[in-house]
């Protein structure tokens, strides 16, 4: 496998090799939040197809049960469901502890929800607090629990799913919704820097807020499945899982989105190097 600079490196104990055509995740377990969003459903299906055990979290208990039944029937994998609301401060610790008590986790998939009303600045502040809890506090709390549980030498991977536009200038009138999702991009970069060389990694999956990514997968359709959009979602999920296991930094659909992410990364790296070389002012 390759390190972050593209050089060959050895595979740590327990690490997964993806040199074959499909990853083998038997013996590994993943926690997937907001699991009824189409992209999260597609990611859960890819992980189940690779043999991973799943813990699925969402607010809709009936939808979770349908999704779990479909995954178990098709792939024979272990699926546990937890109906929980991530807008509650105590929920992240509660669901993580419950999931870890059943089986150790080494994959964490957090899907930031896309609430079309969250950007309205005229909403009651309690609704904005709930948005910030879901988009900022919840992923931080889950990642903190995950990293602490892995210990000093545990292998693990984190995937954050957010909207691609969160990496660009926010639309007028939607400061909290987009700023809170943009936070995940910077948080993922900080985690990668923190975990470099530890066997852990964090990948960011940026998807459009509308388009084919909002369609359902073939496991538990939420709407009549459109073959082309469903196929596009499945392909992106497959690409994201491979990138996650390889330790890649970011996955974006479309050439323009990919070019934008690459440009941001190069600009950020150049700025860090410039600041490191800049002489410090004497005090």
The span from the CA of 143 to the CA of 138, in Å, is 8
Higher model confidence: residue 175 or residue 277? 175
Q: What is the pLDDT of residues 233-270, one digit of tens each?
A: 888 899 999 999 999 998 877 554 445 555 555 555 55
Is the confidence at residue 219, as pLDDT, over 50?
no
Per-residue pLDDT at 121: 60
pTM for the predicted model, two decimal places: 0.78
- Considering only CA atoms, give the Rg of the chain: 19
* Three-class DSSP category at 175: helix
The span from the CA of 66 to the CA of 41, in Å, is 11
Strands 53-58, 29-32: parallel, antiparallel or unpaired by DSSP?
parallel
Q: Which residues lie below 8 Å from residue 84, measured CB to CB, with a gap of 6+? A: 57, 58, 59, 91, 94, 95
When pLDDT is averaged across residues 205-233 and rounded to a whole number, the result is 52
Instruction: Please state, for a pLDDT cut of 90, what percent of the chain lies above it.
Output: 47
When pLDDT is averaged across residues 109-133 and rounded to a whole number, the result is 76
If you write DSSP's letter for every residue of 46-115 in order, what string do you get? HHHHTT-EEEEEES-HHHHHHHHHHHHHHH---EEEEE--TTSTTHHHHHHHHHHHHS---EEEEE----
**Are 142 and 96 within 8 A, CB to CB?**
yes
């Amino acid at each position: 496998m390759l390190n972050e600079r593209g050089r060959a490196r050895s595979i740590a104990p327990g690490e997964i090799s993806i040199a074959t055509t499909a990853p083998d995740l038997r013996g590994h377990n993943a926690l997937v939040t907001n699991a009824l969003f189409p992209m999260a459903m597609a990611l859960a299906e890819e992980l189940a197809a690779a043999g991973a055990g799943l813990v699925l979290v969402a607010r809709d208990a009936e939808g979770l049960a349908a999704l779990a039944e479909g995954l178990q029937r098709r792939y024979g994998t272990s699926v546990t469901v937890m109906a929980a609301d991530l807008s509650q401060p105590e929920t992240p610790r509660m669901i993580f502890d419950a999931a870890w008590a059943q089986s150790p986790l080494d994959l964490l998939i957090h899907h930031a929800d896309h609430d079309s009303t969250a950007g309205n600045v005229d909403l009651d502040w309690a609704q904005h607090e709930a948005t910030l809890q879901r988009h900022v506090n919840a992923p931080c709390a889950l990642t903190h629990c995950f990293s602490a549980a892995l210990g000093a030498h545990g292998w693990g991977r984190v995937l954050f799913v957010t909207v691609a536009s969160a990496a660009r200038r926010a639309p007028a009138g939607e400061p909290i919704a987009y700023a809170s999702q943009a936070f995940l991009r910077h948080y993922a970069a900080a985690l990668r820097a923190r975990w470099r060389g530890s066997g852990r990694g964090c990948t960011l999956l940026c998807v459009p807020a509308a388009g084919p990514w909002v369609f359902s997968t073939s496991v538990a359709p939420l709407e009549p499945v459109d073959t082309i959009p469903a196929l596009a979602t499945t392909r992106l999920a497959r690409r994201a899982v491979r990138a996650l296991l390889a330790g890649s930094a970011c996955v974006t659909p479309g050439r323009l989105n990919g070019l934008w992410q690459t440009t941001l990364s190069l600009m950020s790296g150049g700025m860090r190097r410039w600041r490191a070389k800049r002489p410090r002012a004497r005090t």
